[in-house]
Amino acid sequence: MRLLISNDDGVYALGIRTLANTLAEAGHKVTVVCPDRERSATGHGLTLHDPIRVVPMDHVFQSDIQAWACSGTPSDCIKLAIWALLEEKPDFVLSGINHGSNLGTDVLYSGTVSAAMEGVIEGIPSIAFSLTSFQATDFQPAADFACTLVQQLENDPLPELMLLNVNVPAIERDQIRGAIVTRQGVRRYIDVFDKRVDPRGKIYYWLSGELLEDVEDPDVPNDVPTDVEAIRDRYITVTPLHYNLTSPIGLNLMRHRELEI
Which candidate, 146, 100, 194, places its Cα nearest to that of 5?
A: 146
pLDDT reported for residue 98: 96
Let me know if residue 200 belongs to a domain: yes
Let me know if residue 77 belongs to a domain: yes
Let me know if residue 78 belongs to a domain: yes
233-261 per-position pLDDT tens digit: 999 999 999 998 888 888 888 888 888 88
Are 22 and 47 contacting, i.e. CB atoms less than 8 angstroms apart? no
Are 23 and 147 found together in one domain?
Answer: yes
CA distance 34 to 69: 5
Are 132 and 237 found together in one domain?
Answer: yes
Are 68 and 126 found together in one domain?
Answer: yes
Are 31 and 47 found together in one domain?
Answer: yes
H/E stretch holding 172: none
Beta bridge partners of 55: 69
pLDDT reported for residue 221: 62
Let me know if residue 19 belongs to a domain: yes
Average pLDDT rounded to a whole number, residues 5-22: 96
Are 196 and 138 found together in one domain?
Answer: no
Let me know if residue 259 belongs to a domain: no
Are 245 and 191 found together in one domain?
Answer: no
Let me know if residue 261 belongs to a domain: no
Let me know if residue 123 belongs to a domain: yes
Are 73 and 27 found together in one domain?
Answer: yes
Are 90 and 114 found together in one domain?
Answer: yes
pLDDT reported for residue 258: 84
pLDDT reported for residue 210: 66
103-131 per-position pLDDT tens digit: 998 899 899 999 999 999 999 999 999 99
Average pLDDT rounded to a whole number, residues 119-147: 96
Are 142 and 205 found together in one domain?
Answer: no
Burial 146-155 (b: 16+ CB within 10 A, else e): bbebbeebee
Cis peptide before 97 (omega within 30 of 0): yes
Work out the pLDDT band at 14, boundaries 50, 70, 90. very high
Are 176 and 235 found together in one domain?
Answer: yes
The pTM of the full predicted model, rounded to 2 decimals, is 0.90
Q: Which residue has the higher pLDDT, 144 or 192?
A: 144
Are 81 and 200 found together in one domain?
Answer: no
Give the CATH number for residue 163: 3.40.1210.10
Q: How many helices (H) and strands (E) does the chain have?
A: 6, 11
pLDDT reported for residue 219: 58
How long, in residues, is the chain? 261
SS3 232: helix
Work out the pLDDT band at 41, boundaries 50, 70, 90. confident
Let me know if residue 177 belongs to a domain: yes
Number of domains in the chain: 2
Range of the domain at 193: 186-215
CA distance 102 to 105: 8
Are 92 and 144 found together in one domain?
Answer: yes
Residue type at position 217 = D
Are 96 and 105 contacting, i.e. CB atoms less than 8 angstroms apart? no
161-213 per-position pLDDT tens digit: 999 999 999 999 999 999 999 999 877 777 778 889 999 999 988 877 666 65
Mean pLDDT of the chain: 91
- Report the sign of the C-alpha dihedral through residues 112, 118, 120, 123, in that order: negative
- The percentage of the chain sitting over the pLDDT mark of 70, rounded to a whole number, equals 95
